Chain A
């Protein structure tokens, strides 16, 4: 499709700018003036509306297609929470930082405070900050809190963070951004970080261990409390990556298990829409003695029940300008309030049921690297299909032709030809059955007509794209 810039016609205008009701001012001095106007497209409003409406139709989305993208938790986003999140559109965040201004924004401050309390209860943590703007941003914030803790104790020799090899790539990247070196521990044949190798890796130079549980293989680690204990004995803190929290709502709380720090991806567990890659929101919770290191400012409740914004002098400073991605937080707050205790427990139960059903139905055709009861997602390998020259990516592309967004492929990295499926709790058995039929069909085609899979997709506006060429050309904007 043409770019909006290619639809530009010199002299055409779209939206009209208001007329001025003040005198024209003397121009800026020449050296401060822009040389030529910004070369933005010149299109009428209808051209614009058609262009972006038609572009949108070139996307798969949850509202149009089943989206079992493992680890990403693409559940349906309830419409009423959308309406709720939009109610605060005209509220300027700077009001809260003006002298006396907190009185004018009691509603949104109450939401920040109450959401933090809800998340603390859900995760078993003492306090939560909503400031981080995405899950990975939360990871970095959490590790910065851990660094501040060690520093405050005068413990300066800790320079390593341990992660399992199946971890999200953001874990090591976030720890590195906070200044740590990474030690990777392999996965044992039972599907979790190898306990013996972990013991060997632990020493008094380790600052933290970062884990997710259930892990990215969809498995709950029965040794999780032991890992926490070993870490604590060595003076390290434990970090829980909350990306998979939707599997255990009401069943397990990371704080109860022995984790010291956690981030929560609101856009996953609490069903806020992900907009083609963001916004997300990654609140961080901590155990009691780490509360003082949380970022500044904090929202507190006064004795009279009103809310105030307070500086947090020992904290790690700011990690974003204001209170986080507030409109996303308001949606998550609405979601938690709407579902309530029983609804959230049902989320986990149905997410786990759906994932196990998917695994049970597909395991005849697709290899399961770790054959155990899974949590909210299951990981297969296309290793059998590879014998016929068919790879995970070919199966993925065939699914597109049949109207399904593909699962996550080639992740986690420790499974060859990984296909990671997360149905989520909002999908019906009938939708999953239709998907399962196509997955089984793809496995049949892999044996009988592999070329069909290699050619897919054929129903989309473009076929398989040349990614090598894109990386070589580095054409990232139009001239």
Chain B
């Protein structure tokens, strides 16, 4: 079935206006030898049949599993207002706001989003979103190369390994160099990071809380980077910003992160959004779209896409990035999520994540033979050392309906017995206690 509303009469009238005998005649510019050799797809179906098929697929998508897994993506609650408001067709079925007078809804919302990101990160200028957390780290790395006109970035080993892989891929063709500095257990090796900085360094990239869940103080690192006129890039977890010192407070020049935990569904990998914020002096080096405030001829406040001279549709191959579509609707969800919770609620939510994870850290750390590997503070994730191979334990617990954590062996050779456990506000005390009991059982019986 198709969705074209034209009747046979409409089609006849339109062909007459064009002066064509048939619709097929309109495809005459395509030489016969270029016609499709095959188009082997099944016939269409009804809505009823389609939903039956899709429900069948959705039945096998992790239902009934209690997740203690993160890896940059988190199972947080989403206030009902987020789905309802973001589903408004006027937001949902609009395009990029190229004509500002008929897109003030999207534009103002993105301006409010930018403000929210600035306040979360403690920085002064944000764009209107990037694709996801991993590409955001890569865009920040590219931004540092442009700002400093240097070709080396230092990549801390406790940054999400999936993100590091994206960064090295992005840098590969540009003859820029990513120097990886191994972490020290579950923390950034600050001394080695500092020792790696030289006058060729564009930026040092760290993550807080890092892939192991550890939270660290980066103030000295920022200072040392700045001494060499290099930048500090901090990838941060936005929910933690309710409690943990922001990248801005730590002295970062660029903050990035994955926005999924702000009101976006897990959805098996997307859509999510990446955020990026920086100091105002670097605003012209920000990739992607930026919304700015201005006025109309009567002095009424309005919003437009601004600083477009940096962008691909004007600068083409000299643009700050190739980003055209970003993740506006996901950013809108992030904004509504933050506004729903507000100043007090956001802090309480961060606190709740912290408390639950601290409880889990103590209960799981007390299981026979299990040790907590993080020496210092953690937020809602922490790393356990198990007396057995973590991948085997995780697989065993999946059969009991629990995703116990992310085993580290596949990302950190030598850490085959380590497991990163994630606890959000959605995990109950009973679920945490059950995980402890299942872990004990998996290890010792």
Contacts and interface: CB of A to CB of B under 8 A. Distances in A.
Interface stretch (A30-38, A230-238, A439-447): A30-38
A388 interface: no
Interface string A412-451: 0000000000000111110000000000000000000000
A20 interface: yes
A42 B344 contact: yes
Nearest to B176: A179
B244 A61 contact: no
A14 B69 contact: no
Contacts of B346: 37-38, 40
Interface stretch (B131-139, B183-191, B434-442): B131-139
A136 interface: yes
Given A121-B39, A256-B36, A37 B344 contact: yes
Interface in B76-114: 77, 79, 81, 84-85, 88-106, 108-112, 114
B73 A99 contact: no
Task: Categorize the interface residue count of chain B.
Answer: 35 or more
A277 B19 contact: no
A16 B80 CA distance: 12
A110 B60 CA distance: 10
Nearest to B330: A279
Interface string B5-38: 1100011011101111001101111110111111
A369 interface: no
Interface in B208-267: 215-217, 219, 241-246, 249, 258, 265-267
B276 interface: no
Interface string A43-66: 101001101110111111111110
Given A37-B347, A91-B267, A62 B93 contact: yes
Contacts of A357: 14, 17-18
A361 interface: yes
Given A105-B61, A172-B317, A321-B162, A92 B342 contact: no
Contact of B340 (A48, A250, A316): A48
B244 A59 contact: no
Interface in B32-75: 33-45, 47, 50-51, 53-63, 65, 67, 69-73, 75
A344 B99 CA distance: 30
Contacts of A179: 172-175
A330 B269 CA distance: 11
B130 to A, nearest CB: 9
B385 interface: no
Interface in A208-233: 219-220, 222, 224-225
B238 to A, nearest CB: 9
Interface string A396-414: 1100100001101001000
A359 B354 CA distance: 61
Contacts of B355: 20, 22-25
A198 interface: no
B366 interface: no
Contacts of B10: 428-429
Contact of B51 (A84, A176, A251, A466): A84
B388 interface: no
A373 B5 contact: no
Contacts of A354: 6, 14
Given A38-B346, A144-B173, A321 B340 contact: no
B418 interface: no
B124 interface: yes
Contacts of B168: 317
B40 to A, nearest CB: 6
B169 interface: yes
B356 interface: yes
Interface string A143-183: 01001000000000000000000001110111111111110
A305 interface: no
A100 B393 CA distance: 11
B322 A173 contact: yes
A83 B51 contact: yes
Contact of A426 (B5, B106, B175): B5
A92 B347 CA distance: 25
A324 B135 CA distance: 12
B131 A99 contact: no
Contacts of A405: 99, 102
B268 to A, nearest CB: 4
A175 B271 contact: no
B200 interface: no
Interface in B389-413: 391-392, 394-395, 398, 403, 406-407, 410
A270 interface: no
B57 A98 contact: no
Contacts of B55: 87
A335 to B, nearest CB: 9
A377 interface: no
A379 to B, nearest CB: 15
Interface string B295-333: 111101111101111011111111101111111111010
Nearest to A396: B99
B403 A251 contact: no
A14 B353 CA distance: 19
A251 B35 contact: yes
A186 interface: no
A18 B132 contact: no
Contacts of B3: 75-76, 78, 339, 343, 425-426
A13 B345 contact: yes
B89 A52 contact: no
A467 interface: yes
A58 B322 CA distance: 29
Contact of B62 (A92, A147, A328): A92
Question: Looking at A55, A257, A406, which has the most chain B CB atoms within 10 Å of its CB?
Answer: A55
A13 B344 contact: yes
A56 B108 CA distance: 10
A201 interface: no
B430 to A, nearest CB: 8
Given A98-B407, A100-B394, A251-B35, 16 more contacts: A17-B348, A25-B359, A40-B342, A48-B340, A60-B99, A64-B89, A92-B73, A93-B268, A98-B403, A144-B173, A170-B312, A250-B36, A326-B268, A474-B125, A475-B292, A477-B119
5 contacts: A95-B403, A276-B94, A319-B166, A341-B42, A356-B26
